[in-house]
């Protein structure tokens, strides 16, 4: 079986890979434990601790707010602020309890879950107790003794004070007698002791200091001793004073009972109900919660400690595994590499020694023998084959080199001739190319000129089209003029005919004038023959003659005017006829112009087409010339390249000759 270097390498690498895989698995497991521990710590233990701390802080805040409300809640602004803080603290408590409830799903200890339940129950009771305290803290009946003072005792003492003050004031207004001074002193004592006693009672109710009760007792006793003294002096009182004093005494009795109640109320444990509730219920509840939270927190801390221990253990295992695996890999890898390298190096050294001998020119040595059937053995066999072939090749090269020398000399001579003829060819091509360039430039000029002429012809064609249109418009206008002129002529002829009618009328009038003239002459003749009797008739005849003469003159004038009118009509008709003829001539000329323009336009179009054909032919000629020129260029380049190639060939032939000499010299170095 053939075991190649690759298989050996693969075996070694495989061993290393297996060792690394084993160590990786171990390390992976260890890291998994670490990850799990870290996860537990991060997601379960720490959040529990944090929630417990938040719960404790919120509980303290709620209690502080409640106590603050109990102290300064009388102020509405302070009360609102403190209530808000307590509500906010309870919101935090609810959030913390919610977090703990969510985290409790991951807890493993039943005691922790039990503690959480205890906390929730206690918190609920604590909340209710705080609410009750808040409700009663600022009520007047929270402090029972003080409530009795405010509602009952204080009004009564004030009443007593007013009564005794009234009595005193009345007494002061009386005449200053020695007997009444005793009454006044007693009254003053009663009032002073009453004030002192009430003050002491208030102080005791507020502070609870028993020393104030002693002062009260003393003041109340003094007040009681003042009563009989005043009673003795009652005959000195006025009716009003007496009535007031009676009321004073009665009210004192009522107040006396109240003082005992106030003292008792103050001395009781629940003298302040809110504080009592706080002390007896709220604080124990808070403690219960705190204890449970503490246990929960302790459990969480233990959990964290366990997780840390697991983390440390897992890390330690991972480190050890990693170090051991690295050492194993190192040892195994080194052993495999050494063994494999050794076998490869020995074979390579043998091959290198043989290669050096061959490089020195000695092809006579024996074959290189290598054990094994791997790539190195293949390389040795191939090297031996190469050596044998090299020996054979050197012999062949030696004989061929001689032939190459002679052929190279012949090639050099031929290439020299070819180079000379190629240069001549390139010179001729250059001349032809220059000539083609000149022809191409001429063609371009012709094309440009043809384009300019074509453009001008196009413009002329456009102008002729416009001219034809103008001529047609002129024709139409002239036709319209002709029609109008003919219409004018017809109107004039109609006028002439009417003039003729007027002439006939004038002729009739002339006839009448002649006849009238004749009649007048006859009348005159008859009048002349009648002598005197014909005088009036002669006047009539004369008038008739006059009228006939007027008619004749008017007829002459009208005839003259009619003659002028007729002349004018004739002239107008002649002018009209002439105008029509001129219009006809103009129209004819316009038609001729139109035909001429059409012919010019056609000629221009034909010229344009011809020029365009010229342009096309010229362009094609240019293209052809360009192609010819390009071809000439290519031929010239090819000739130049041929010349260059021939020159290079000549050089190559010379160098070939030189190389063959060198080859012969080099081959001669090898000893066969």
Residue 345 corresponds to which tokens in the numbers above?
Answer: 């190096």
Is residue 158 within 8 Å of residue 209, measured between CB atoms?
A: no
Q: Which is nearer to another protein, 232 or 543 (CB)?
A: 543
Nearest residue (CB) to another protein, 314 versus 520: 520
For residue 542, state whether it binds another protein (rule: CB under 8 A): yes
Residues touching another protein, count (CB under 8 A):
17
Cβ at position 589, least distance to another protein in Å: 20
Residue 399 burial class via C-beta count within 10 angstroms: exposed 0-12, middle 13-18, buried 19 and up: exposed
The minimum distance between CB 505 and another protein, in angstroms, equals 13
Task: Tell me which residue of 274, 282, 352, 403 sits closest to 664, measured CA to CA.
Answer: 403
573: contact with another protein by CB under 8 A: no
CA distances from 645 to 199, 345, 553, 619 (A): 139, 50, 130, 37
Closer residue to another protein in complex, CB, 546/662? 546
How far apart CA 7 and CA 404 sit, in angstroms, is 50
- The candidate with the shortest Cα–Cα distance to 439, out of 616, 627, 637, is 627
| Position 388 contacts another protein (CB under 8 A) | no
> Considering beta carbons, is residue 392 or 526 the nearer one to another protein?
526
| Interface residue with another protein, options 82, 96, 541, 583 (CB under 8 A) | 541
Taking the complex as a whole, the smallest distance from the CB of residue 592 to another protein amounts, in Å, to 24
Task: Rule CB under 8 A: say whether 564 interacts with another protein.
Answer: no
Closest to another protein by CB, 214 or 511:
511
The answer to whether 375 and 631 are in contact (CB under 8 A) is no
In angstroms, what is the minimal distance from the CB of 545 to another protein? 7
Q: Is the dihedral of CA 226, 228, 233, 234 positive or negative?
A: positive
Nearer to another protein, 353 or 543 (CB): 543
Interaction of residue 539 with another protein, rule CB under 8 A: yes
φ, ψ of residue 107 to 5 degrees: the values are -70, 145
Pull the structure tokens for residue 108: 């493993």
Nearest distance, CB of residue 448 and another protein, angstroms: 50
Q: Which of 543, 584, 591, 606 binds another protein (CB under 8 A)?
A: 543
Q: Which is nearer to another protein, 523 or 632 (CB)?
A: 523
Q: CA-to-CA distance for 610 and 642, rounded, in angstroms?
A: 45
**Residue range at the interface with another protein (CB under 8 A); choices 159-167, 246-254, 374-382, 535-543:** 535-543
For residue 546, the minimal CB distance to another protein (Å) is 7
Least distance between another protein and beta carbon 579 (Å):
12
- Rounded Cα distance, 558 and 618, in Å: 85
The DSSP call for residue 234 is G
**CB of residue 522 to another protein, shortest distance in Å:** 5
Smallest distance from another protein to CB 518, Å: 6
Nearer to another protein, 150 or 519 (CB): 519
**Per-residue string for binding with another protein, 493-532, x by CB under 8 A?**
---------------------xx-xx-xxx-xx--xx---
> Which CB sits closer to another protein, 251 or 521?
521
The candidate with the shortest Cα–Cα distance to 633, out of 437, 394, 444, is 437
Instruction: Measure Cα distances from 372 to 3, 39, 179 in Å.
Output: 8, 57, 156
489 φ, ψ to 5°?
A: -60, -40
Q: Which two tokens stand for residue 374?
A: 């791997």
Q: Which residues bind another protein (CB under 8 A)?
A: 514-515, 517-518, 520-522, 524-525, 528-529, 539, 541-543, 545-546
């Amino acid at each position: 079986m053939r075991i190649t270097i690759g298989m050996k390498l693969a075996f070694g690498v495989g061993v290393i890979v297996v060792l690394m895989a084993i160590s990786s698995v171990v390390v992976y497991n260890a890291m998994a434990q670490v990850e799990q521990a870290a996860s537990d710590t991060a997601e379960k233990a720490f959040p529990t601790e944090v929630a417990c701390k938040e719960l404790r802080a919120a509980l303290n805040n709620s209690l502080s707010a409640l106590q603050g409300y109990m102290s300064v809640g009388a102020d509405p602004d302070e009360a609102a602020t403190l209530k808000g803080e307590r509500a906010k603290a309870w919101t935090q408590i609810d959030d913390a309890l919610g977090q703990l409830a969510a985290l409790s799903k991951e807890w493993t200890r039943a005691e922790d879950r039990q503690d959480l339940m205890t906390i929730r129950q206690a918190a609920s009771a604590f909340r209710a107790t705080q609410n009750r305290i808040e409700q009663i803290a600022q009520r007047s009946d929270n402090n029972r003794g003080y409530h009795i003072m405010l509602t009952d005792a204080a009004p009564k003492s004030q009443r007593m004070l007013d009564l005794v003050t009234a009595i005193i004031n009345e007494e002061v207004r009386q005449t200053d007698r020695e007997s009444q001074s005793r009454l006044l002193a007693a009254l003053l004592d009663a009032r002073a002791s009453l004030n002192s006693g009430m003050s002491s009672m208030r102080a005791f109710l507020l502070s609870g200091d028993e020393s104030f009760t002693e002062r009260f007792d003393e003041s109340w006793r003094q007040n009681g001793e003042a009563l009989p003294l005043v009673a003795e002096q009652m005959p000195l009182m006025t009716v009003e004073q007496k009535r007031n004093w009676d009321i004073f005494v009665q009210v004192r009795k009522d107040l006396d009972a109240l003082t005992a109640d106030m003292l008792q109320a103050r001395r009781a444990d629940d003298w302040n109900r809110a504080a009592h509730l706080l002390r007896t219920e709220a604080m124990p509840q808070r403690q219960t919660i705190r204890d449970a939270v503490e246990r929960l927190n302790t459990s969480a801390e233990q959990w964290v400690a366990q997780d840390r221990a697991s983390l440390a253990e897992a890390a330690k295992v991972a480190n050890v595994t990693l170090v051991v695996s690295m050492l194993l890999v190192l040892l195994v890898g080194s052993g495999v590499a050494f063994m494999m390298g050794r076998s490869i190096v020995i074979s390579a050294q043998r091959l290198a020694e043989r290669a050096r001998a061959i490089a020195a020119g000695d092809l006579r040595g024996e074959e290189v023998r290598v054990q094994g059937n791997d790539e190195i053995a293949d390389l040795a066999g191939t090297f031996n084959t190469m050596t044998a072939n090299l020996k054979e090749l050197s012999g062949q090269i030696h004989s061929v080199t001689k032939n190459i020398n002679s052929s190279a000399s012949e090639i050099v001579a031929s290439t020299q001739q070819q180079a000379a003829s190629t240069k001549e060819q390139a010179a001729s091509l250059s001349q032809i190319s220059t000539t083609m360039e000149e022809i191409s430039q001429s063609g371009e000029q012709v094309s440009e000129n043809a384009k300019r002429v074509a453009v001008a012809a196009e413009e002329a064609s456009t102008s002729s089209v416009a001219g034809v249109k103008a001529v047609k418009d002129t024709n139409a206008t002239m036709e319209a003029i002709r029609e109008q002129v003919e219409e004018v002529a017809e109107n004039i002829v109609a006028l002439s005919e009417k003039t003729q009618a007027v002439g006939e009328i004038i002729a009739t009038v002339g006839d009448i004038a002649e006849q009238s003239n004749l009649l007048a002459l006859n009348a005159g003749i008859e009048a002349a023959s009648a002598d005197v009797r014909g005088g009036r008739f002669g006047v009539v005849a004369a008038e008739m003659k006059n009228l006939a003469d007027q008619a004749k003159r008017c007829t002459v004038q009208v005839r003259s005017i009619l003659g002028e009118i007729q002349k004018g009509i004739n002239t107008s008709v002649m002018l009209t006829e002439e105008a029509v003829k001129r219009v006809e001539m103009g129209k004819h000329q316009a038609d001729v112009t139109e035909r001429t323009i059409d012919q010019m336009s056609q000629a221009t179009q034909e010229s344009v087409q011809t020029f365009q054909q010229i342009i096309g032919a010229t362009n094609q000629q240019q293209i052809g010339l360009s192609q010819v020129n390009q071809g000439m260029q290519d031929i010239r380049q090819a000739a130049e390249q041929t010349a260059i190639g021939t020159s290079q060939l000549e050089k190559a032939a010379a160098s070939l000759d030189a190389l063959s000499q060198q080859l012969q010299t080099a081959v001669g170095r090898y000893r066969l």
